[in-house]
Amino acid sequence: MPPRTILVFDVDGTLTAARQVISPEMRQFLLDTRKRVPLAVVGGSDLNKITEQLAKDRNTLLSMFDYTFSENGLLGYKGTDPYPIQYLENDFDVIHFFGDKTSPGGNDHEIFADTRTIGHTVSGPEDTKLQVLSVLENYENFV
């Protein structure tokens, strides 16, 4: 991957089926992907709800991702330290965002359409995996 690249994910409809818990396969996929590139998650819910969907407890959630943002980015963490989402662009040159509701009016549209991100519209967790693999493959072929 080029230096200073991060993959950012919505929760519902992207990493999980809507309001469901993450599958063991997706969890492992994220852990494997994180060995290659930093990861962030952005959810519209509070941190407790995101934790219920993605991890067994808050510490596990915060250790699964390099950055965790809840309440549409109002609350953020870099590891376990508080971190404002607007500083993400200072740490990364390339920000890929994966979300399912990316059309105008969708809850993912704002970050998807932001000029600082490369937006990817996904149709569910399996499509998310395929698109992430494609992004990783394209970068590896580039280097």
Sorted by where each begins, the domain ranges of the chain are 5-123
Identify the band that residue 1 occupies on the pLDDT scale cut at 50, 70 and 90: low
pTM of the model: 0.92
CATH of 5-123, one of 3.20.20.70, 3.40.50.1360, 3.90.1150.110, 3.40.50.1000: 3.40.50.1000
User: Which residue matches tokens 């990817």?
Assistant: 120
pLDDT single digits (tens) 73-96 = 888 999 989 898 888 889 999 999
Catalytic positions:
10, 12
Provide the 10 A C-beta neighbour count for residue 138: 10
Compute the distance between CA of residue 5 and CA of residue 61 in angstroms, rounded to an integer.
21
pLDDT single digits (tens) 54-78 = 999 999 999 999 999 998 788 899 9
Report whether 127 belongs to an annotated binding site.
no
* pLDDT higher than threshold 50 for residue 143: no
Report whether 12 belongs to an annotated binding site.
yes
Read off φ and ψ for residue 21, nearest 5 degrees: -85, 155
